[in-house]
Structure 1
């Protein structure tokens, strides 16, 4: 697996985390609504797979959901930066050879 696909899988997982946190906040007023979370597993060769799972009740919600979303946004940004820098390095390498 290359750097671009590893970073892309991280971005997909981070996006799913933000969606799960938003869904939890949106359902706060719904009595008996289950909370959801995201489980990530490593992939052989690099990267992650992510999936939605039922999460335990959290008395700290929505604060914990908002913090989880912020953490996921930072992870998304870091992976996007990695893709952007990798692309720039490849472009610079091709410019030197051309």
Structure 2
């Protein structure tokens, strides 16, 4: 797996995390709503695999969910920066070789 694919898998994982956290916050007052959690694992060739699983109910979790959503936004931006840098480096290499 190359740098671009690894960063893209990180962006996909962050996007899922951004979706899970608000789901939990929006449903905190809903009695039968299932709380969700994003589990990450290392992919075989690099990068990250994710799975959304049911989590235990926790009345104090909304603050943690909001902080997790913010962390996911930062992770998404960091992976996007890696992709931009990879693109710049490839462009510089092609300019140099031309």
Length-normalised TM-score, structure 2: 0.94
Instruction: After the TM superposition, list the runs of 4 or more consecutive aligned residues in structure 1 that deviate by more than 2 angstroms.
Output: none
Distance 2:6 2:70 in 1: 21
Of stretches 57-66 and 15-24 in structure 1, the one that deviates more from structure 2 is 57-66
Distance 1:53 1:27 in 2: 16
> Which residue in 2 is equivalent to 1:30?
30
Distance 2:70 2:38 in 1: 14
> Which residue in 1 is equivalent to 2:16?
16
Number of residue pairs the alignment of both structures matches: 98
CA RMSD of aligned residues (A): 0.9
1:66-94 Cα shifts (integer Å, max 9, x gaps): 00101111111110000000000000111
1:19, distance to aligned residue in structure 2 (A) = 0.2
Distance 1:19 1:77 in 2: 16
Distance 1:70 1:60 in 2: 17
1:8-45 Cα shifts (integer Å, max 9, x gaps): 00000010011000110111121132210111111112
Gaps of 5+ in 1: none
Length-normalised TM-score, structure 1: 0.94
Q: Summarize the alignment of residues 74-93 of structure 1 with structure 2, pairs less than 5 Å apart.
A: 74-93=74-93
